[in-house]
C-alpha cells in the first residue's frame, strides 16, 4: 500500500503477491502473470487488452500504477546515449541513462530522490536526500526506457541518483522483480550495484543469493584522503570496506570492481596509485578491477578534473603493480550524461523567483 493513498502499489509486487492481489479483486490467479508481463513493458492499463475491461477498471480504482513520466529527454549526437529526467507521482524528479554498447544496451537507474551520503564531488547529494524510491519507481524507469526506445534493456547499472544500499529493502525487491523471467528477465549477472561503502549492507547483500556485480566507490587509498572526500568513510573505513568486499567475493564468486574518480590534486598522483595498488593487493587478495573515472566537474564543488595524460599515468602505475585498471569511456559527454545534474537544474528552476513583469 502506498502511504498517502492507501491504494495498492501493485507494480512493486512479485508474481506470487500479485496472484493474491488479483484474487482479492475477484479474478483468477493466472491474470497475475499477464499483468506482470504488461507492467514489464511499461504498458498503461488501457493497453492491457487481454485483461477483461471490468478487471482493468478495478485495477485503476484499487491500485496505484503510475509509471515515471518523461519530463526531459536528451539524445547524444556522438553516441546515441539517452538521458531521461523522469517525474514521479509526487513531482520528485530522477534521472536514468540509456546506453548502447557493442554487446547490448544498459540502463543506469536512480534509487533515491537525492542522496544523504554527502560525497564532496557529487551533484546528487548537494540538496540531501528527499526520499527513497519504491521498487516500482526503480523498475518503472527500466520499463519506461524500454517502451520509449522500443529496445530491450539487456543490463542495469545502479549508478544513478542515490545510494542503493541506503534504500536496501526496495532495492532488493527491485532486483528480484527486474530479473524475474516472467517480466523484464534481466540476468542478475548483467546487473551492477554501485555503493559508497555501507559495510553492514554489503555483508547482508552477500547473503541474499543475488549474484549481482558489486561496484565499490573507493576514490582514495587511505582513510585520511577518503574521509575528506566521502564522509561515509568515518563510519566504515577502507580496511573494513575491503574486508566486506572480500567476503562478498567469497560468498557470491563475483569479482568486485572499484570505482576511482580522479580529482586534480586530491587523489590523482603517482603516489596514490602506488598506495591504491598495495591496499588492494593486501586488503583484497582476490580478483578485482579498477575503473578510473575522470571527474565530471560540478560547479558547486569547486573540484576539477585532471587531464587525460595524468589519468593514463595513474592507470599505468596500477598496471605496473599488477592491478587491472581501465579508464571509463565517457558516453553522452555532450548531454552531460552523468547523474544528478539535470535534477539539480530542475530544482533550481523550481526555486527561482517568478520573473517580475
Ligand atoms: N551511491 C552510489 C552510486 C552513485 S553514482 C555510489 O556511491 O557508488 C556512481 C559513481 O559515480 C560513484 O562511483 C560516484 O562516486 C561517482 N560520481 C559521483 N559524482 C561524480 C562526479 N562528479 N564525477 C565523477 N564521478 C562521480
Domain ranges of the chain: 8-64, 69-350
Interval 11-44: pLDDT, tens: 999 999 999 999 999 999 999 999 999 999 999 9
346 confidence band (pLDDT: 50, 70, 90)? confident
Burial of 301 (0-12, 13-18, 19+ CB in 10 A): middle
pLDDT, averaged across the chain: 93
* DSSP code string of 234-277: GTS-HHHHHHHHHHHHHHH-PPEEEEEEE-TTTT-SHHHHHHHH
Q: For 297-325, give the secondary structure using H, E and C.
A: CCHHHCCCCCCHHHHHHHHHHHHHCCCCE
Active site residue 245: no
Residue 289 pLDDT > 80:
yes
Ligand 1 center to 194 CA (angstroms): 8
Mean pLDDT of 148-153: 97
- Strand, helix or coil at 118? coil
Q: Are 218 and 236 in contact (CB under 8 A)?
A: no
Q: Which residues line ligand 1 (CB under 6 A)?
A: 119, 121-122, 159, 163, 194-196, 217, 259, 261, 293, 295-296, 298, 338-339
Ligand 1 mutation target, pool 107, 110, 121, most atoms within 8 A of CB: 121
Residue 357 pLDDT > 50:
no
Residue 4 pLDDT > 60:
no
Residue 320 pLDDT > 60:
yes
Residue 82 pLDDT > 70:
yes
Nearest CA owner, ligand 1 atom 21: 296
Q: Which of 95, 137, 259, 317 is catalytic?
A: 95
- For 138, the enclosing helix (H) or strand (E) is helix 135-149
6 confidence band (pLDDT: 50, 70, 90)? confident
Nearest CA owner, ligand 1 atom 4: 159
Listed in sequence order, the residues at least 6 apart from 118 whose beta carbon sits closer than 8 Å to its beta carbon are 125, 230, 231, 232
Residue 7's pLDDT is what? 87
Residue 101 pLDDT > 80:
yes
Fold of 69-350: TIM Barrel (3.20.20)
Residue 331's pLDDT is what? 76
Q: Which CATH code for domain 8-64?
A: 1.10.150.530
Give the CA radius of gyration of the chain: 21
- Strand, helix or coil at 158? strand
pTM above 0.85, yes or no: yes
The answer to whether domain 8-64 and domain 69-350 are alike in fold is: no
Residue 156's pLDDT is what? 98
Ligand 1 center to 217 CA (angstroms): 7
Interval 175-226: pLDDT, tens: 999 999 999 999 999 999 999 999 999 999 999 999 999 999 999 999 999 9
CA-nearest of 166, 169, 189, 193 to 179 is 189
Active site residue 250: no
- For 132, the enclosing helix (H) or strand (E) is strand 129-132
> How far does Cα 97 stand from its chain's mean position?
10
Amino acid at each position: 500500500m502506498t502511504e498517502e493513498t492507501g491504494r495498492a502499489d501493485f507494480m512493486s509486487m512479485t508474481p506470487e503477491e500479485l496472484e493474491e492481489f488479483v484474487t482479492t479483486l475477484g479474478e483468477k490467479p493466472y491474470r497475475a502473470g499477464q499483468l506482470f508481463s504488461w507492467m514489464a513493458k511499461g504498458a498503461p492499463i488501457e493497453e492491457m487488452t487481454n485483461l477483461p475491461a471490468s478487471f482493468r477498471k478495478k485495477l485503476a480504482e484499487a491500485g496505484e500504477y503510475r509509471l515515471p513520466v518523461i519530463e526531459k529527454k536528451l539524445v547524444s549526437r556522438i553516441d546515441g546515449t539517452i538521458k531521461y529526467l523522469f517525474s514521479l507521482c509526487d513531482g520528485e524528479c530522477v534521472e536514468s541513462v540509456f546506453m548502447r554498447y557493442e554487446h547490448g544496451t544498459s540502463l543506469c537507474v536512480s534509487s533515491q530522490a537525492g542522496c544523504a551520503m554527502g560525497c564532496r564531488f557529487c551533484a546528487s547529494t548537494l540538496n540531501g536526500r528527499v526520499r527513497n524510491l519504491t521498487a516500482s519507481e526503480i523498475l518503472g524507469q527500466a520499463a519506461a526506457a524500454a517502451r520509449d526506445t522500443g529496445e530491450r534493456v539487456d543490463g542495469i547499472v545502479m549508478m544513478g541518483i542515490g545510494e542503493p544500499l541506503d534504500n536496501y529493502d526496495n532495492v532488493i525487491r527491485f532486483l528480484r522483480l527486474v530479473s524475474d523471467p516472467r517480466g523484464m528477465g534481466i540476468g542478475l549477472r548483467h546487473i551492477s550495484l554501485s555503493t559508497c561503502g555501507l559495510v553492514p549492507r554489503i555483508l547482508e547483500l552477500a547473503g541474499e543469493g543475488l549474484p549481482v556485480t558489486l561496484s565499490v566507490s573507493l576514490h582514495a587509498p587511505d582513510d585520511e584522503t577518503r574521509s575528506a572526500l566521502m564522509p561515509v568513510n568515518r563510519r566504515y573505513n577502507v580496511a573494513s570496506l575491503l574486508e566486506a568486499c572480500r567476503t562478498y567475493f567469497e560468498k557470491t564468486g563475483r569479482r568486485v570492481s572499484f570505482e576511482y574518480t580522479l580529482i586534480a590534486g586530491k587523489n590523482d598522483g603517482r603516489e596514490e596509485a602506488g598506495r591504491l595498488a598495495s591496499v588492494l593487493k593486501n586488503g583484497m587478495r582476490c580478483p578485482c578491477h579498477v575503473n578510473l573515472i575522470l571527474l565530471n566537474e560540478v560547479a558547486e564543488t569547486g573540484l576539477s578534473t585532471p587531464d587525460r595524460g595524468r589519468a593514463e599515468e595513474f592507470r599505468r602505475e596500477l598496471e605496473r603493480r599488477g592491478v587491472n585498471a581501465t579508464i571509463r569511456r565517457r558516453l553522452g559527454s555532450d548531454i552531460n550524461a552523468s547523474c544528478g545534474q539535470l535534477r539539480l537544474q530542475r530544482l533550481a528552476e523550481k526555486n527561482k523567483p517568478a520573473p517580475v513583469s
